[in-house]
């Protein structure tokens, strides 16, 4: 019999039961990949993380990230939530994290995460994407229309066609014409199976830009082939989105920041703070962060 501690936390949340829930399983060194996948399916959240000893003692931990159906090389909300949980535990033990900076070993590389504080203590975290922005092939608007059940007229094509981009985890990014179209989108699993296999992209990321609204960007992300019909908040998607928007901007040098809302249409409102730096026409760095709220803690028993 094996006993494992776990915590759950709402990530990119302003209050409990908002944002994107995450399960963090501690002391997972003895678990097999199959056991981790089964535990993630049991939690049935967008992602579950497993904390292991790092290969390099200079790093904080090794982290493995699983959806209910597959392991991911990188994801934003699992890094933010795991950092929040580990930093909060370290604080309670009177062993605060040095310089509020953590380094996680992941399949995508070493990921740097900074703890966010206010006067009350640790409130969240901010993660830097482990890879530089890459912009790949496009996808025909008609295919995107099939994926999300919208007419092609709902797809905004003036700034960019649907395109695969990644800062550690690839998504198909599609701008829609208005908020009504975003609300009406519905994932079509059969279309995903036909047109968007998991090895091509993690999911479909839809967004609208409304400069007079707060937040000025609203997004939704569908990944049914990962067991995630819709994700309340997608850090790896939003960190690539801010990089893509900086890439598309005509200025060769800039620092672009944005507040991005997600999860509203599924009753899990989330707020993400994203940033991209661009120098000499190249996006050199991207970050995403937000607040976290603890929800549960307990013990998982493996027999």
The C-alpha atoms of residue 78 and residue 20 are separated, in whole angstroms, by: 9
Asked if 10 contacts 289 with a C-beta cutoff of 8 angstroms, the reply is no
* Two tokens, residue 299: 């013990």
Residue 18, φ and ψ in degrees, nearest 5: -115, -175
> The dihedral of CA 126, 288, 5, 16: what is its sign?
positive
Tell me how crowded residue 109 is: count the other CB atoms within 10 A of its CB.
14
The C-alpha atoms of residue 106 and residue 119 are separated, in whole angstroms, by: 31
> The dihedral of CA 127, 291, 242, 148: what is its sign?
positive
Which residues are catalytic, by number? 47
* Two tokens, residue 168: 């550690």
């Amino acid at each position: 019999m094996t006993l494992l501690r776990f915590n759950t936390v709402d990530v990119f949340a302003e209050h409990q039961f908002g944002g994107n829930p995450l399960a963090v399983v501690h002391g997972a060194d003895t678990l097999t990949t199959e056991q981790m996948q089964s535990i993630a399916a049991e939690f049935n959240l967008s992602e579950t993380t497993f904390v292991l000893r790092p290969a390099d003692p200079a790093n904080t931990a090794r982290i493995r990230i699983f959806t209910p159906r597959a392991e991911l090389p990188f994801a934003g909300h699992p890094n933010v939530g795991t950092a929040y949980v580990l930093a909060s535990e370290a604080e309670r033990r009177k062993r605060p994290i040095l310089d509020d900076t953590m380094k996680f070993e992941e399949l995508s590389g070493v990921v740097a995460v900074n703890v966010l504080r206010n006067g009350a203590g640790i409130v969240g975290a901010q993660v830097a994407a482990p890879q530089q922005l890459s912009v790949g092939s496009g996808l025909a608007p008609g295919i995107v229309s099939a994926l999300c059940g919208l007419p092609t007229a709902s797809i905004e094509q003036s700034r960019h066609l649907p395109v695969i981009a990644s800062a550690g985890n690839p998504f198909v990014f599609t701008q829609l014409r208005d908020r009504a179209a975003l609300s009406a989108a519905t994932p079509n699993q059969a279309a995903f199976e036909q047109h968007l296999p998991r090895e091509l992209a993690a999911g479909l990321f839809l967004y609208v830009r409304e400069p007079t609204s707060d937040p000025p960007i609203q997004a939704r992300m569908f990944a049914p082939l990962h067991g995630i019909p819709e994700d309340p908040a997608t850090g790896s998607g939003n960190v690539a989105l801010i990089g893509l928007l900086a890439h598309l901007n005509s200025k060769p040098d800039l620092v672009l920041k944005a507040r991005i809302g997600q999860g509203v249409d599924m009753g899990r409102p989330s707020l993400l703070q994203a940033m991209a730096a661009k120098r000499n026409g190249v996006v050199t760095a991207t970050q995403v962060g937000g607040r976290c709220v603890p929800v549960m803690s307990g013990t998982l028993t493996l027999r």
